Structure 1
Amino acid sequence: MTTQKLDTSVRAIRHWLARSVKSLGNHSDRLNAINVFPVADGDTGSNLYLTARAGHDAVSKLESDDIGGFLEVAARAAMESARGNSGTLLAVFLSGLSEPWQGQERLTAPLLALGLERAKVRSWSALSEPVEGTMLSVINALALAAASTLMHLKVDKDSRAALDTLLTQMTQAARLAVKGTESTLPSLVKAGVVDAGAVGMLVIVDELCAAIRNERTEFDDYEGFHGYSVQDPHVHFDFEEIEGVEVMCTVTLDALGAATLRGQLDALGNSVIMSPVNQLEEDTYRWRVHVHVEDPEAALDLIRQQGNPVNISVTDLCIHDG
């Protein structure tokens, strides 16, 4: 390909978000079917799609030349409407990616590498107990590949050729990370599948690269991932009965309140994710909170001790049929 085709403006970011929504919708049934971690509730594909759509819709009519500011608006909307573990991590990823891009009109290889590194730090720190073999592994691989590629580039780092090289290395690293999930988590090994969230993140990465390159996205090689060519791999796995609920909300907290709440939720449940949505004052942020618990009222009581939760959702953790 010719690197002159690359689109590095807000237009590319807009196209990326739109394409991600479409492709996540197309892949949602398969992603749901292989969703066995952290709980086999068969909704990773749906959660990623709905979260991405919320981000896209927020900027569908937004006019801006600032790639970071544009993506920040999408990320904030995605965070406020995030669904599940995977949707929340997607929103955190977008938010982290946008931070070093603030005030920039064009995406370059160094800016992309900085964004991926920030997205990695934000994503890993959002979880109380981050786990390898998930979306986090793909995000980590992206950041490492970008940093390593940038370090060894023989061309001008701000050139289109440099960005094109970075995109190629990112997609290769992401695919290796997805394949790695096949043998990382015992539940995935037993089910004979790759991690659903990891594949979902690969869809998003592939669409980013394709949007910048003005190319079609190819998904044929996804058939090589364990379980992804099977319509209902749930039949390969004996699922235990799932009890409990997923509680999500947004709450305004200072640093002490956030740290206190995280510790309390860690003691009460699991799959705790807390990430700032936006800053209100010097030490106060709006936080998006996610936790799996047996009793939703117990979790909400702890949250209310620290602040006033809004945008509350309580979802049963149950196995779906598709």
Structure 2
Amino acid sequence: MQQRQTPPTDQPLSQIPDHGMDQASDQTVDQLTDQASDQAPGHPQAESAPEGQAQPSRISYLDGIRFRRVVRAAARRLIEKHGHLNAINVFPVPDGDTGSNMAGTMKSIVASTSATPESSIGRMSSIVAESALMGARGNSGVILAQFLAGFSEGVKDLSRVSPRDFAEAASLAARRAVEAIAHPKEGTILTVIRDWAEHLRENCHSYKDFHHLLHDSLDRARQSVQETREKLAALKAADVVDAGGLGFVYLLEGIAEFTERGTINRRDKTDGQSETAGTAGTPGGADNATLGEAQERVAVEELTYGYCTECLIRSGATSPVDREELRVRLEELGDSIVVAGAGAVTRVHVHTDTPDTVFAIAAEYGEVSHHKAEDMLRQHRDLLAAMAGGHPQAAPAPTGTAVVTDSTCDLPRELLDQYSIRTVPLRLFLDDEEFVDKVSISADEFNRRLPSSRSARTSQPAPADFRTVYEEVLATHAQVASLHVTAMYSGTHQSAATVARMVSPHIAAVDCRTLTVGLGLVVLEAARRAQTGMDAAEVARLAARDADNLHVYVSMETLDFAVRGGRMSRGTGMVAKLLHIKPVLCFDPRKGGKVDVAAKGIGPRRAGEKLFALLERAVANMDNPRFAVAHVGAPDTAARYAKELEARFGVAPLYVMPASPVLGCHSGPGACAVALLGDPKDG
């Protein structure tokens, strides 16, 4: 390739301000100033061209300040186009979130570098890589994070890089991205990254100018992403290119435009959703109708595993994670495995049916955080509902009422799926170890570990967790009924209500004044009403009424946790233990969910008899009784209670299941809860 002729001036990108990314202007390079950068050592002023002669700026090196700006320009472009990427996302699963995941990863970088004037590209790339690993989301997001970590490795000892240095680091980054994947496939983002990096490596000696090198290599990346359609059957069937690969091209476009214009350009506000995949030089080859049908063409039954599972591992300086060993171990649990990392930070991504097992294995390698387990089947179904057979822009306005609850609600997975009930998880703490309820630890595992723990407690979800769920469900529903655990023992409802007010006036948050299977019965009734077309306000009103007609009784095997939690004095607990007294607790919604001792029995059998006597008294005043049973590591007791319910009342419980950890924290191992919901008798 013949070397381009360029003038000898070097317009430093360090002179170009970011305008905070969110206030980027469309000014030209000549109109922009950056006083802080102008004063920075090693950033020469641009030489002027002869009067009347226009010359393109030449960029002979990248340092930390320039690298930060091109990364942020790349982020802007990808974030603008994330909706288009979601629309064509069919591989590895058609869940329509590749754009959102890659955008989320880049937003993490933008947030972490917003006030970081680091002049060394080695140090700045390290900051970018770590923030990418911390915020990586989804398969493509984690691959992108590993690419950036590999690039950081390639420039770690450099203060600035030439085009040749850049090409060598990009080649290393491409290799590291492939190495992070258990079974890399042709036709994905990995292919596009590799082809782009190979072009850089083969041609970098012909360039002294980043501007021309990046523009020419962008053409190769565009060609590569077009070729992905022929390399994967799922892409060919849907007639689209790989969404992750196209996302990488969007990043390169943002950089190329920045080097051309010298500004972070704010484009239209449509998130790229009006753009077909064949425009702007990034051919996806599908028209609007095809885009809308892309995910629909991929049979949902082809999903081998149900949950997109991710976490972050921080290891000690003296005990780094053996990422290859971890990758091999995870192969037994799922597919789409990515184990990415740099230094002490490792990001794990896997599609699996057992998220809690993945998190348990990860915990063997260091401190685990940023747990995530998303139901891909539900995501795919929600996406198809929103698509309505066409491009997302053509989808009808969201309709109907969605029901959201928290993880203290005990409902079987099949009922949650049947009624599309979304759950926001609480945080759990066993001794000093933190878990995400029903995500990083199952109820069974929690109950197994509870007897040997020194302390067990719960913590309400973060406001950001509520915001995420609300925004997701409002994409497909017009309204939301958000039903939560009693405010007497948790700040969950208050957090939900606060976020609801910020997100939309169409969210009704309700303190249901109960928990575990009591909340489960209330939420189940609400979801059934929502499916009939009832609006959120009425669903919420009737849920509050149901709580008034709810009874929840809990038999206990041990009093230690009641004493530990302050619900029983130490002296009373000692006496009860000596006399083998087993109390029956009542979570009374009519008292705001307050826990009272409703009855006492000598030994477990007598306590069970007392519990059923309380149920008989309550059933006498209602019609259509519905029951549910939950237990804390006591399946035999739960089975006995279920059999007794049917014998006494002629009604089998709607379900029997392990209780949410919140019940175990209150009542300890061996506890068994029975919830009763009925309709008040007339008169």
TM-score, scaled to structure 2: 0.43
Aligned residue for 1:70, secondary structure, equals helix
Aligned residue for 1:128, secondary structure, equals coil
Question: In the alignment, what sits opposite 1:281?
Answer: none
Aligned residue for 1:143, secondary structure, equals helix
> Cα RMSD between the aligned structures?
2.5
Native 8 Å contact 2:63 2:119 kept in 1: yes
Pairing 1:208–2:250 present: no
Aligned residue for 1:309, secondary structure, equals strand
Question: In the alignment, what sits opposite 2:310?
Answer: 248
Deviations 1:64-113 (A, max 9, x none): 11122112202211111100001111111112222232344433211111
Give matches, 1:183-222, under 5 Å.
Answer: 183-215=230-262, 220-222=279-281
Native 8 Å contact 2:333 2:354 kept in 1: no
Work out which of the residue numbers 360, 365, 370 in structure 2 matches 1:301: 360
Deviations 1:210-258 (A, max 9, x none): 3334457899434632226555243761432445111111224546743
Pairing 1:178–2:225 present: yes
Report how far residue 12 of structure 1 moved. Answer: 2.9
Compared with structure 1, are the counterparts of its residues 109 and 256 closer, same or farther at alpha carbon in structure 2 (3 Å cutoff)? closer
Pairing 1:126–2:180 present: yes
Compared with structure 1, are the counterparts of its residues 66 and 103 closer, same or farther at alpha carbon in structure 2 (3 Å cutoff)? farther
Compared with structure 1, are the counterparts of its residues 308 and 289 closer, same or farther at alpha carbon in structure 2 (3 Å cutoff)? same
Compared with structure 1, are the counterparts of its residues 229 and 26 closer, same or farther at alpha carbon in structure 2 (3 Å cutoff)? farther
Q: Quick one: distance in 2 between partners of 1:11 and 1:52?
A: 17
Report how far residue 273 of structure 1 moved. Answer: 0.6
Gaps of 5+ in 1: 279-284
Question: In the alignment, what sits opposite 1:19?
Answer: 73
Pairing 1:43–2:97 present: yes
Q: Quick one: distance in 1 between partners of 2:287 and 2:342?
A: 33
Compared with structure 1, are the counterparts of its residues 189 and 168 closer, same or farther at alpha carbon in structure 2 (3 Å cutoff)? same
Native 8 Å contact 1:194 1:225 kept in 2: yes
Pairing 1:274–2:274 present: no
Native 8 Å contact 1:33 1:234 kept in 2: yes
Aligned residue for 1:62, secondary structure, equals coil
Aligned residue for 1:61, secondary structure, equals coil
Give matches, 1:283-294, under 5 Å.
Answer: 285-294=344-353
Deviations 1:126-182 (A, max 9, x none): 00111110110111011110111135x2xxx6x33xx34422331111011101101
Deviates more, 1:172-181 or 1:6-15: 6-15
Give matches, 1:302-317, under 5 Å.
Answer: 302-317=361-376
Pairing 1:232–2:292 present: yes
Native 8 Å contact 1:6 1:213 kept in 2: no
Native 8 Å contact 1:14 1:60 kept in 2: no
Deviates more, 1:218-227 or 1:70-79: 218-227
Question: In the alignment, what sits opposite 1:72?
Answer: 126
Compared with structure 1, are the counterparts of its residues 316 and 128 closer, same or farther at alpha carbon in structure 2 (3 Å cutoff)? same
Same amino acid, percent of matched pairs: 27
Q: Quick one: distance in 2 between partners of 1:164 and 1:303?
A: 42
Native 8 Å contact 2:99 2:247 kept in 1: yes
Question: In the alignment, what sits opposite 1:265?
Answer: 330
Q: Quick one: distance in 2 between partners of 1:228 and 1:89?
A: 28
Report how far residue 275 of structure 1 moved. Answer: 1.6
The code of the aligned residue for 2:161 comes to L
Deviations 1:25-81 (A, max 9, x none): 221111001000011110000001110010111111001111221122022111111
Gaps of 5+ in 2: 10-56, 268-274, 387-391, 393-683
Bigger Rg over Cα: 2
Q: Quick one: distance in 1 between partners of 2:375 and 2:77?
A: 27
Aligned residue for 2:331, secondary structure, equals helix
Aligned residue for 1:221, secondary structure, equals coil
Compared with structure 1, are the counterparts of its residues 295 and 118 closer, same or farther at alpha carbon in structure 2 (3 Å cutoff)? same
Question: In the alignment, what sits opposite 1:282?
Answer: none
TM-score, scaled to structure 1: 0.87
The code of the aligned residue for 2:307 comes to V
Compared with structure 1, are the counterparts of its residues 210 and 67 closer, same or farther at alpha carbon in structure 2 (3 Å cutoff)? farther
Question: In the alignment, what sits opposite 2:585?
Answer: none
Compared with structure 1, are the counterparts of its residues 235 and 271 closer, same or farther at alpha carbon in structure 2 (3 Å cutoff)? closer
Question: In the alignment, what sits opposite 1:10?
Answer: 64
Q: Quick one: distance in 2 between partners of 1:175 and 1:12?
A: 24
Deviations 1:165-200 (A, max 9, x none): 422331111011101101110000000100000100
Q: Quick one: distance in 2 between partners of 1:211 and 1:68?
A: 21
Aligned residue for 2:313, secondary structure, equals strand
The code of the aligned residue for 2:359 comes to L
Aligned residue for 2:336, secondary structure, equals strand
Structure 1 stretches of 4+ moved >6 Å = 216-219
Q: Quick one: distance in 1 between partners of 2:104 and 2:332?
A: 29
Work out which of the residue numbers 191, 195, 212 in structure 2 matches 1:141: 195
The code of the aligned residue for 1:240 comes to V
Question: In the alignment, what sits opposite 1:169?
Answer: 216
Q: Quick one: distance in 1 between partners of 2:73 and 2:211?
A: 19
Native 8 Å contact 2:75 2:254 kept in 1: no
Structure with greater proportional strand content: 2
Paired residues in the alignment total: 309
Aligned residue for 2:346, secondary structure, equals strand
Deviates more, 1:71-80 or 1:219-228: 219-228
